[in-house]
Every structure is written in structure tokens, then in C-alpha cells.
Chains A and B, each alone.
Chain A
């Protein structure tokens, strides 16, 4: 039988490998065991996917998902409701690295198809993932590779592939590649282009497709990362994936997203990893597994570093919104304002399918400013005030079942526990008990008990502690 420590550890795992969980789900998963849950999360293909027919019936824009807003609503729904929680989390992870933005592409459905690749292959081999990316019409368009010709090479894709998508500019104080490597990379990808698209008017968008134009490819020897040959794009991917820098880059990104906030990516050349031991273990697994992300994640989630890193990360906006909604448990049935939570994610600074630049979103404390913090607090507190929601009712019911009378201390601890094991600073605790609860004991059967619980939950989610995962 799982004890409270097991449940709280599970809460930590689900905040990171998913978007949080209700207390009931935490109990069930803890009873199954930590390692078994990790394996289940690592194999989403063994879980049923969401049935979308009813949603598509009522959310008519979701059937083809052509527009940005429809896609953001759809993805929010998936993050909250998918039983394949890690699949959605990994999709968000890669979306934040392999950035493609609707502001340039103006074709959200094409970005959706890229995200679907992240869902299907995001935990597979990194070389396969880079090949998907290299032939992805949204990415090639976003980074101008359709404008790269053998007579006039555009280096945008080639440069970002190295700098932002695979190796990073440097590590341990050294540069990972040279300007000549960028040029060779870009030359190897000449001819990797896309078909001419059907315009979105008058009848809507159609999926575009990758084309390889051998007549526009530079057929000559190129020296790339010390290897010389008549390289094409797939050769470049192969050479990139065997670099130690690539192992480091992937490991640090995984650590930054799943374990604890690291400095921003541009600082990685001169800033050593926060946890060199775990990074080394991840690098080793990268090579031992043949570049498999799933294997790296297994090492990561089962490490002591991960288990001890509770609340070491600032939640990204998707985690704030979807994590709150998963606790409240009332985002399953379609209704007209179903897109509101997706807008909240946008207002908090994470415009899904539309990152600010190819560099993606800066993470950690950079998620927070005076405006986005207010959005976070208002949203979460608003949701905790919904006494008619099944999640809040469950929390009230569980607290009521602890006896006819509950002390203020126990009530506060109970709320913190049922939200997933949050811990407040002593000053905050004292303030809540003296100013909010005011009495030393509460009658759990009183008419206003549910209101008191709800108000306490609203205060908790308004704290800085709730901003951490």
C-alpha cells in the first residue's frame, strides 16, 4: 500500500512527466509503483488515445484544425485529458526547442502535423527526429530552406540546426563548430525544399509536402565537423548525432525541462551543467541506446537527482493552466468558451504554435513578470473557486471525511497535500492561519465548510510556491 511519501513523490513525477494529477489518480499510480508508472509513461502507445469524435462534433474547427486558435484549444484539451501524459509533455518539450511559429507560417495545420510527429517519435531516436525535422514543410519554410539554392545558399536552416536544434554553440568553454561547418551544413541541405502550397482561400489549407530537388543540390565534397565527402542532408544528421556536443545538448535540454531550471541556452557554452553527474549519465545513455530519448528519460526519471528536485522549476504557462484544470477536473465536455484556457496560456506568455522566435521561450524565472504573474494568480484562483467542479468537490469531501472537526493547521496541510504536496514558507502559513482561517478549528459538516476550503485553495494557488513544479 502506498504511503503519503509515495503519493507525494508521484505528484512530483506527474507534474514533470505530465501536467499534474488529481489526488485520486496519484493514489492509483502510487499503488502501482514508481518505476512501473515511469514505464507506463514512457510507453504511451500502450495507452488508449483520446477519442475525438464527440469533441469534433461540437468543436467544428477541430475536425481539420486549420486555425491557430483551434489548434491551441485542441492542444490544451489534449494536455489536460490525454491518458498519454508524457506524450503530450514530450511534444511540448520539442515544440519549445524545434520552434516553428504561426506568425510566419500562417498555416497552423502544418505545424500540427509537425507536433504529431513529436507525439509519435518524440521519444524515439534523435537521428530519426532530426530527419523528420529536416523534411518537415513547416520547419523548412520557417527557416527559409525553400529559398536556399545551389547558386545562392541560404544558411538559416543550416545554422539553426547546429546552434539551436542539435549541438549548441559550445560546451566546456569551447566552440562546438565553426562558421565553415555552418556553410557546409547549409550546402548539404540545398535542394531540400517544399511543394508549392495551395492558398488558404477560397477553400482552406491543405497539407504541404517535402520535396528533394536534386537539380538544386550542391554535388561536391564538403568538410563538415572534420569529415570530408559529398555530403547530403542525411549525412549531416548522421555526423551531428555522433558528436559528444549533441549528447550534451540533448541532456541539458532534458534536464532543464524535466528536472531543474538551468541558465538560458545561449549561456551553456561557458556555464557548466547544474548537475554534472546526471548530465554525464544522460550523455552515456544517449550513446549506449543509439540516441534514444526514451532511454534517456528512463535514466532521468529514475535518478535520485530527479526525485530530489521537487519544486526546482518554475512552471511554464501550459503547466500552470493544464495542471490546475487537471485538479479541478471540469475540462472534458465541450462548451462554447472551451478555448478560454488556451487563451490564458497565451496571456501568461506561451502562445502555443507561435513561439516568439526560433530560439523559443526563455524558461525558468523569465516566465514571470508583473503581468504574467497576475494572469497566473487570477486564473488559478478563479478555478479553485469553482465549488461545482468535481475536483474541488472531491477535495472538500476528502477533508470532510477526516472527522467532524478539523484544526486550522490540519486543514491547511490537507489542502496543500491534496493539491500535490506543496510546501509554504512559514510566514505565509502564519498569515493564512491568522488572517484567512482565523479560527483554530472548523466543523467539517458546517454549511460554509466548502467555501472555507475553496478560499484556502485560492490563497494557496496565489502563492509563489504554486508557481513551481
Chain B
């Protein structure tokens, strides 16, 4: 007798983060990247009238605070640097992050039309990017990812295309145009690249995910507008794991969708958040708040995702969901449906 494998499942492990304008916490986080030693780099978009909250929070998967990188202004909103010659290290509309092999941070800025580069220690390494719609120019860059050759592949949202550059900003190629047909895009946003070099794009305003080969040839599209299985409402981010399973931040449906490598629906994740370490610290320091929370009605709502905007899965099969409106990241572990046997020599 054989047993049919039913597919993967996902076990919620924990939540990290809390709403904070500075220090341990996030403010409207939009994306996350995982570095070595369980380090996470979390991009905080924050609000434009609190530009001092725009930053990269560096912490661990276990929620140990490491520090901050970048800034959105010197003393707050009124001094926010929105000019073309923005000062070193400033972030206006930071959107996505990718790490190179040395764990330098490459961050797209949709307003400044540049890719900002920091070392993992927070040193400013420079930026590149030219605003426009010509070859080698971009308009509101959003999703960013490194390919196997360590070239930068970024989503050129305003020009409805995907562009490839060397890591120092030399233009290589592009593909995509505005429209709803196969291979066409409408305000695309998130990006991921699988182990075969195929490129996945969150085709935001077309409510679908598109898959291209490494040369930009159209391979597959998944999704239509709606809130059912395999339907999306403004998907913002896409991630692909080592088994080819696709994760989509279904932003305006307040959920993450999990699809198999052919784009067939597997499951929804709507959120299971529990108190984070930083959340507990906050409550311990504010007894009134703690008491209010203990008697609050409808607290069960707190577990749900609200505006999930980024998804990332690491090689350890940990899924990071950037729960933007709740200033936190919900973390899940992928549970394979088959025997893996990592424990103690793979015994039964």
C-alpha cells in the first residue's frame, strides 16, 4: 500500500519586531534579507513625516538587536533630503534589499532612483542609478536580487520592465513592457531568482506572478484578480525555495499564498503572530499597557497578517513574512511531507 504525499505544510515558529521609530523595532518594514549567522536586515520605509525612522534594522532571527544602517533625514521630516543629490546614506523611499557575496547591502530607493550600497557594518559604499526611461536608466526601482553571476537584477517599476546591471551599476540588459499580455507588466514590484536562474516577478497591478528565464523569455504566469485560491490582489513580493515552491505576499488580501512550482495552489498563510521578545520587553516596561492588553477584547485579531508586503525563504526552509502594517515579521518553518531524518544519523 502506498500513501499519497499530501504536500508541504508550514509551522509557525515565532514573531520578531514591534512598532518603533528607532532602535529595536520596525516602522512599516517593506523587505528583509538574511545574512550569515542568522542576521536579518530589515528595510523600514516608515512615514515621510517621520523620516528619522527610515532605516535598516539589523537583528538576528532570534530577535537580538544588532544596530541600524542608513537614515532618512537628519532631524525628522522637515529636513528630509529629497533632492537629486541626496546625501550619503540617506533613504527616502527604500523598497527592497539584496545582499552580495560579501554581505554588502544593495537597497533600491524608489524616490531617489538609485541603488544605495552599505557594508554590513553600516559604512556607506556609494550608490548608482540614473533616472529616466532610456537604456541603463530607471524610474522607481523596487525589487532587487543578485543572480548566480552576481549581477543585479532589479524591477524598474515606472518603466514596466526588469533590468540587469553589474554590481557596480553597468547596464547589461532589460526585458518587459507595459501591458497585460504574456511577458508584459503593470507596475511590477517584487523579484526572486530560482536555482536554475529563472526570474519571478510580482506583476503588481496585473495581479499575477510571471516567470521568465534568465534571458527574460516568458515561461509562465500565475494568478488573476480576486481573493480565491490562486487569485491575488496587488501581490507585492515573491520568493522561491530550493524545491521550487513559490511564496507570494498577497498584500491587499492580507495573506501569503503558497504555490507549487507549476503555480498550483497549495495553501494560504493568514498569520499566527504571538508576542515577540521586543513586544514583551515593551509591555514589561509599561504595566498599564500590559494590563490593558490582558483585558482587551478581540485580541485574537492580533495574530493576523495586515498588509504582508515581503516574503523571503532561506536555505534552512524558514519563511519570513514582512507584516508591514503591524511592524513585525512572522516566521514559519516549512515541514516537508517526506522523511528527511536530520536527527541523530537519520534514524527512525
Contacts and interface: CB of A to CB of B under 8 A. Distances in A.
A204 B327 contact: yes
Contacts of A69: 47, 49
B229 interface: no
Contact of A198 (B93, B110, B189, B301): B301
B298 A209 contact: yes
SS class of chain B's interface: helix, strand, loop or mixed? Answer: loop
B103 interface: no
Contact of B297 (A195, A335, A336): A195
Interface string B161-175: 000000000000000
Contact of B47 (A54, A60, A198): A60
B82 A337 contact: yes
Contacts of B273: 203
A186 B333 CA distance: 54
Nearest to A198: B296
Contact of B302 (A57, A59, A206): A206
B186 to A, nearest CB: 11
Contacts of B25: 202
22 contacts: A53-B252, A54-B187, A54-B205, A60-B28, A60-B30, A66-B325, A195-B298, A196-B292, A197-B292, A198-B296, A198-B301, A198-B302, A199-B292, A201-B289, A203-B273, A203-B279, A203-B302, A209-B297, A335-B82, A336-B80, A337-B80, A339-B48
Given A58-B110, A64-B306, A202-B278, A53 B205 contact: yes
A204 B282 contact: no
B282 A202 contact: yes
A316 to B, nearest CB: 23
A338 interface: yes
Interface of B: 18-19, 25, 28, 30, 45-49, 77, 80, 82, 92-93, 110-111, 187, 189, 204-205, 234, 252, 273, 275-276, 278-279, 282-283, 286, 289, 292-293, 295-299, 301-302, 306-307, 324-328
Contact of A58 (B93, B307, B328): B93
Nearest first, the 5 closest Cβ-Cβ pairs linking A and B are: A202-B18, A202-B279, A195-B297, A61-B47, A198-B296
A198 B325 CA distance: 15
A199 B296 CA distance: 8
Contacts of B48: 59, 61, 336-339
Contacts of B282: 201-202
Interface residues of A, number: 30
Contacts of A67: 47
A200 B325 CA distance: 12
Interface in A365-404: none
A69 B48 CA distance: 10
Contacts, number: 103
Contacts of A54: 187, 205
A206 B47 contact: no
Q: Which of B30, B48, B77, B204 has the most CB of A within 10 A?
A: B48
A57 B188 CA distance: 12
A337 B110 CA distance: 14
A196 to B, nearest CB: 5
Given A57-B204, A202-B276, 14 more contacts: A53-B252, A58-B110, A60-B324, A69-B49, A195-B298, A198-B301, A201-B289, A202-B25, A202-B282, A206-B301, A209-B298, A336-B48, A339-B48, A339-B49
A63 B249 CA distance: 15
A70 interface: yes
B325 A63 contact: yes
A337 B73 CA distance: 13
Contacts of B307: 63-64
A70 B47 contact: yes
Nearest to A211: B297
A86 B55 CA distance: 41
B307 to A, nearest CB: 5
Nearest to A339: B49
Contacts of A199: 289, 292-293, 296
Contact of A201 (B18, B295, B297): B18
A57 B301 CA distance: 23
B280 to A, nearest CB: 9
Nearest to A61: B47
Contacts of A209: 297-298
Q: Which of B92, B286, B325, B327 has the most CB of A within 10 A?
A: B325
Q: Which of A202, A204, A206, A336 has the most CB of B within 10 A?
A: A202
Contact of B327 (A53, A63, A203, A337): A203
A314 to B, nearest CB: 29
Nearest to B292: A199
A69 B301 CA distance: 25
Contacts of B187: 54, 57
Contacts of A53: 205, 234, 252
Nearest to B297: A195
Given A57-B204, A58-B93, A339-B49, A204 B296 contact: no
B19 A201 contact: yes
A198 B293 contact: yes
Nearest to A64: B325
B19 A202 contact: yes
Contacts of B28: 60-61
Interface string A279-319: 00000000000000000000000000000000000000000
A199 B299 CA distance: 10
B146 to A, nearest CB: 24
Given A70-B47, A202-B276, A204-B19, A196 B295 contact: yes
Contacts of A197: 292, 296
A204 B299 CA distance: 12
A206 B19 contact: no
A204 B326 contact: yes
Q: Which of A63, A69, A209, A335 has the most CB of B within 10 A?
A: A63
A69 B289 CA distance: 23
A66 B49 CA distance: 14
A57 B155 CA distance: 15
A220 to B, nearest CB: 29
